[in-house]
Amino acid sequence: MLSTSFFAQTKKATDFWKNGIDSFQKEDYINALGEFDKAIELKPNFVKAISNRALTKYELKDYYGAIIDLNKAFELDPNDELSFNPIMYFVRGLSKSNLKDSKGACEDWRKASDLGFKQATDLLTTYCNSQISKTKITNKLPQIGDKRAGGIVFYIAPESTDLDGDGDLDTGLVCSLEDQSDGIGWFNRFYIKIGTIESAVGTGASNTAKIVSELGEGHYAASAASSYRGGGFEDWFLPSQNELSLMYKNLHKNGYGSFSDSFYWSSTIYNDNDWYELAWTRDFVEGYQYHLDGLSTTKTNEHEVKVRAVRAF
């Protein structure tokens, strides 16, 4: 059995890490470095603290130290979360570039680019064309179940198309690597008639924007999805009814995604006229679709209704 002192030490390490994050966001990198050092001293394999210390060392122009920390973080990461965070590859590439390791930099930028990080793609185009040909780095086509762009690929469009309404052509859709909430409602404390909400693939983003605009701040399904920042991306949304169905069929039924045996909200309401207080869910146990009361957080008090965010890439 783990001792009380172990839990106390772990909590103290977490507190130092949080202090480091606060200092980093205020661009007080010296203090941030000290806080991350304290966290790692108490908990040597604290992956988040090690990776955040790497970013801090980069800002302080300690490029060699940043690379060492990122290498260690990649090696230690127990859930493989860092391996799908393009920012970490991007920063390690920048550090290598500053140390004149152009081949290593291009390899890391390629990994970040494959995960959907546009700044890395721009650097590849500008600086790495010759390196790409020398090292035979390829930009492989995405497949269902691939981890890229901050999530897991569950849909590939037949041809490039705008899937999130930002005006850029997209290849497909990914869902996040984890749930964003357990037992959460679709509405924000009370019913509001939202208006027309679509169900087709490619409408989840516009649905989510409309919902958040109407419901405002609060803890509800669309807000939980849109506030997610997985992989360093800020354009996550609640999937439409058909997008959620593809997540079930293409990922969950094939063993991808680590979904719960539970229900998940879509951004599609049942009927925008007479039954606007109901929203569509997908049962990830049996695969059926249900419309639930939008203030519900469970289905028949048995299964929590969860959120899994989506973004286009």
Same domain (yes/no): 74, 123: yes
Same domain (yes/no): 131, 277: no
Structure confidence at residue 134 as a pLDDT band (50, 70, 90): very low
Structure confidence at residue 298 as a pLDDT band (50, 70, 90): low
Position 135 scores a pLDDT of 39
DSSP 3-state assignment of 34?
helix
Least confident of 22-26, 239-243, 285-289: 285-289
Residue 196 lies in a domain: yes
Same domain (yes/no): 152, 216: yes
Residue 141 lies in a domain: no
Same domain (yes/no): 100, 211: no
Helix (H) or strand (E) holding 207, with range, is helix 204-215
Q: Please name which of 45, 135, 123 lies closest in space to residue 82, comparing C-alpha atoms.
A: 45
Domain membership of residue 242 as a residue range: 147-312
Same domain (yes/no): 130, 153: no
Given CA atoms 144, 145, 148, 151 in this order, what sign does their dihedral have?
A: positive
- pLDDT digit string (tens) for 51-106? 999 999 999 999 999 999 999 998 888 666 776 688 899 999 999 998 888 899 99
**Is residue 139 scored above 70 in pLDDT?**
no
Structure-model confidence comparison of residues 8 and 206, the more confident one: 206
Distance CA 192, CA 220 (A): 13
Same domain (yes/no): 239, 274: yes
Same domain (yes/no): 128, 227: no
Residue 123's alpha-carbon distances to 6, 16, 132, 187, 294, in angstroms, are: 44, 34, 12, 42, 45
Model-wide pTM > 0.75: no
Residue 260 lies in a domain: yes
Distance CA 245, CA 243 (A): 5
Q: Please name which of 303, 290, 206, 220 lies closest in space to residue 261, comparing C-alpha atoms.
A: 303
Amino acid (1-letter code) at residue 216: G
Same domain (yes/no): 163, 129: no
Distance CA 280, CA 67 (A): 46
Position 71 scores a pLDDT of 93
95 φ, ψ to 5°? -65, -45
**Pick from 92, 108, 135: which residue ends a domain?**
135
N-to-C CA span, the chain: 45
What is the overall mean pLDDT for the chain? Answer: 84
The mean per-residue pLDDT over the stretch 31-46 comes to 93
The mean per-residue pLDDT over the stretch 164-169 comes to 87
Q: What is the CATH number of the domain that holds 95?
A: 1.25.40.10
Same domain (yes/no): 44, 108: yes
Residue 283 lies in a domain: yes
Angle CA 69–148–121, to nearest 5: 80
Same domain (yes/no): 222, 165: yes
- For 184-220, b/e burial (b = at least 16 CB within 10 A) is bbbbbeeeeebeebbbebbbbbbbbbbbbeebeeeeb
Q: Please name which of 220, 211, 214, 215 lies closest in space to residue 184, comparing C-alpha atoms.
A: 220
Domain total in the chain: 2
Same domain (yes/no): 177, 123: no
DSSP 3-state assignment of 237?
strand
Same domain (yes/no): 159, 307: yes
